[in-house]
Chains A and B, each alone.
Chain A
């Protein structure tokens, strides 16, 4: 078994054994549940996954990182996005040759979203704005920023930084580097969206196999089959796009992200629909999947703007 297979196995078993169950508590901001995830990351060293081996990390490539985030996204998009925000911080620090503290949890702003989206146990936020990179400590964020809640990804701490936060200048990224990191982060975000949608699809399919209406299990109704078929195709397409883009260029990544976000949101809308009234209730996880999917789709400037941006930038 190679390293990635080992990691994939560990992630899968954590998702099945613990994360799925923890996710509801994490959404409510339960500190213990988040703490359990933090410990698991330390145990598996996955918090250092994108850091190269020479810097003490795991050195996972982009496709592999997509796989990890996709798997985590199945159980908890909040956790996966918080981890991605940390990875984004690491990317920037690496790019600036700033040493990454192995015990610290980072978050970022300006790559994933303009807000700082973080795990509750965040230590530092790496803020990128027009190429300038600054570091803000978690304590300062907690004290001086406005904390807001989002439609989805609940349980994450979301800070809107205010001007009186004291930031430490770290350096500058050139436009090319910034774009490159931005695109990588966006593609990884798409992987979370795919994982989230895959799970919504799994739940909807399971429900359709059990729920009797119209004289039969609903999966036997043509329209339900069509909806499920479309959902599957959308998930398949999104996943393929994300994995291919992981090895591709900036443009591929942005397109994969925009498309996956749109398609995965549609999948989650349909999943709620297939569960009928039950799907709309908080006890059934799909409503959370829909809120998460919409939030992922709209983060930063939303998918519509991204589609446009890809072409617009080529013209410049």
Chain B
């Protein structure tokens, strides 16, 4: 702001900028060639690079899951042996969590959408953003080398002392994830600064889209938790390389200390995975209900509350690891507390839909699936958080089912909602609504068939991570496997119509959903620098009772001589804080 610091509000001349339909020039064709893609500092393209990577890893992790489920069709060995099985489930977990879930919404969707939602030209540090993508790539290369040089069979949690003693290549794998962590940290730093410093004129904190609030909370967790994972993995690497004796009991270390360190990161990490999903759901529900979001501040602040409480509950993973019973009681109580902000969100979303004009387009359908599955995942989490019940359910399929309901039923559904929602903005193409709904329903059915039986067999005592099992669980395992296959069919259909959309999809309009949010007030696909003007915000992002024209304002240049546009003066709060 060139005005003196003293005044926080000032007058700017604005006019309406209608987004151009089907622009000839946009970010996808602004630079050409593979090299331009690999060296791009455009946040939108970096988002797409991430999107491509996570799609690849989702495919790999998914194939591994199908392999596991197929093996589990019969109680004894079917076609892979026990050691391979251990490696496969470890890889499934590690890939899905570190290479898919953690970067999915923040790094892929977030990178693409955050500056658009802020009316900024880019993130605060575009080169750092590209660097974080390459750090991610280097991390994955280390991991791939680890897979092909001995694999890893510790489970994605790398618990000591097994991880310090097993013959598999834990060293490279953990080092790869250590590197990956820096990518996550850099994205977090970048987002926090972008949200603080790069908001368009008039975009005050109380007008931020809820997706931005969610990304803000996520970034805070990323920045605060990931370094602790980094040091933990570094200590583990040192333990294996030099035998420093911090975690390995045979040389004087304490394995429970590793669990504390690990979960201090990894519990908040599940919020890194789910909180940005909440943001997507808020956007989708409001847009497709044509209604102002109910309880804006409740949703915004509950993200921060979850981020905060999430740091205080890690001990609930150690109820049976010899933790003092007082500590367990405290952790159990704090775990229950997380349910409150989560419940607040669910109620606010339901209240937003109440008496809205709901349009069950594919993104909204995914949001509904999210609400249903995530609620089940959340409630079963509370059950696992209660001390007595956990003694029974610990390390059973019940935990597996809970985790998948939260992560796949919650996060992946939110990711799919977001992907379908922003797809037109990303590629300027529409997808087949019909097939999108079909595949959503198929995935929903397959998912429940795969994981509901796991709750039952888990509560009956089926331990997780087991290669074979006694006959009484066979029916559940087979149902679960069939469910996994059905889900796979759903994803194949999705891949089909998405590819079709890319190749010969109908061109999308700038704002196909009639949303009031800022990212829809520019053309599809977005221009190279997001907006051809400097957007000015005077309304909240969900003010559906106000006319569209009030959402398309930008600073009117006094020199361009176009008198045909009506110019108005508006007062905007300085978006830039004078710190």
Partners in one complex: no
